[in-house]
């Protein structure tokens, strides 16, 4: 568990307003853990719980690593971690919105098949690739394509990596000053705040899908349940 009071100052010393952003992220993380635990109440599980278990475990690792990268002002790595959370969110959102396909998709995933190789609907050729998944979530997240594109710039070797090294440009002499290194504490606070907003949003959407699953699972007939205690 992360205690804001005992965190190393790092970037938070320069940008103290980011502490409120961190607080919101940690509250959403706690909500996610609580909802996930609720889906396992009674000690009995379904195959769907294996996916949720993997996503929550990944989510906790991502958030922990993100906080460390923020403290270190390592913007590049922090942005990549946000992109990973978006990846989980897109896949879980699709599964939550298509209960008729849930078991089939998770069975194929659990057998080792990548999501981009799994058909969206049984018998269809369209696969669960990122483009299709982004279109699925657009009704509640209209800027998904733009956000996805910006975060992918940090995953791939885009021109963003050059732009981040330029700390000053003189339009008169056409000379620029550059800094190379992991620490990017000269980037504006708004850039870091944007990462917090996106990560908190993606974490919330994962939590919302867990909440929906918890409600649905309680309504399932007991004969549908399989004892999965050994895997929880």
Q: What is the reported pLDDT for 176?
A: 85
Per-residue pLDDT of the chain (232 residues; tens, 9 = 90+): 566 666 777 899 999 999 999 999 999 999 999 999 999 876 667 888 999 999 999 999 999 999 999 999 999 999 999 999 999 999 999 999 998 999 999 999 999 999 999 999 888 889 999 999 999 999 999 999 999 999 999 999 999 999 888 888 888 888 888 888 889 998 999 999 999 999 999 999 999 999 999 988 888 776 555 444 444 3
Of 3, 95, 5, residue with least CA distance to 50: 95
Half-sphere exposure of 94 (CA within 13 A, CB side): 27
* pLDDT for the residue numbered 222: 64
Residue 171: the pLDDT is 84
pLDDT at 168: 82
pLDDT at 46: 86
pLDDT score for 42:
66
In this structure, is the dihedral angle defined by the CA atoms of residues 146, 152, 153 and 154, taken in order, positive or negative? positive
Exposure class string for 12-47: b at 16+ Cβ within 10 A, else e: beebeebeebbeebbebbebbbebbeebbeeeebbe
The 3-state secondary structure of 38-62 reads HHCCCCCECHHHHHHHHHHHHHHHH
């Amino acid at each position: 568990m992360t205690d804001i009071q005992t965190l190393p100052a790092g970037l938070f010393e320069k940008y103290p307003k980011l502490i409120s952003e961190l607080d919101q992220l940690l509250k959403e993380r706690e909500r996610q853990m609580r909802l996930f635990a609720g889906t396992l109440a009674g000690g009995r599980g379904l195959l769907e719980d294996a996916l949720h278990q993997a996503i929550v475990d990944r989510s906790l690792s991502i958030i922990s690593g993100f906080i460390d990268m923020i403290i270190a002002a390592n913007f590049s790595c922090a942005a990549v971690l946000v992109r990973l959370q978006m990846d989980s969110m897109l896949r879980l959102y699709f599964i939550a919105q298509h209960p008729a396909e849930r078991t089939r998709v998770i069975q194929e995933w659990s057998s080792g098949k990548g999501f981009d190789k799994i058909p969206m609907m049984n018998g269809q050729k369209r696969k669960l690739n990122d483009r299709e998944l982004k279109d699925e979530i657009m009704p509640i997240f209209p800027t998904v394509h733009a956000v996805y594109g910006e975060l992918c710039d940090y995953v791939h070797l885009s021109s963003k990596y050059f732009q981040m090294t330029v700390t000053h440009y003189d339009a008169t002499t056409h000379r620029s000053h550059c800094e190379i290194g992991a620490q990017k504490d000269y980037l504006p606070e708004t850039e870091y705040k944007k990462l917090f907003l996106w990560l908190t949003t993606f974490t919330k959407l994962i939590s919302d899908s867990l909440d929906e699953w918890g409600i649905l699972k309680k309504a399932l007939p007991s004969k549908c349940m399989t004892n999965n205690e050994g895997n929880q």
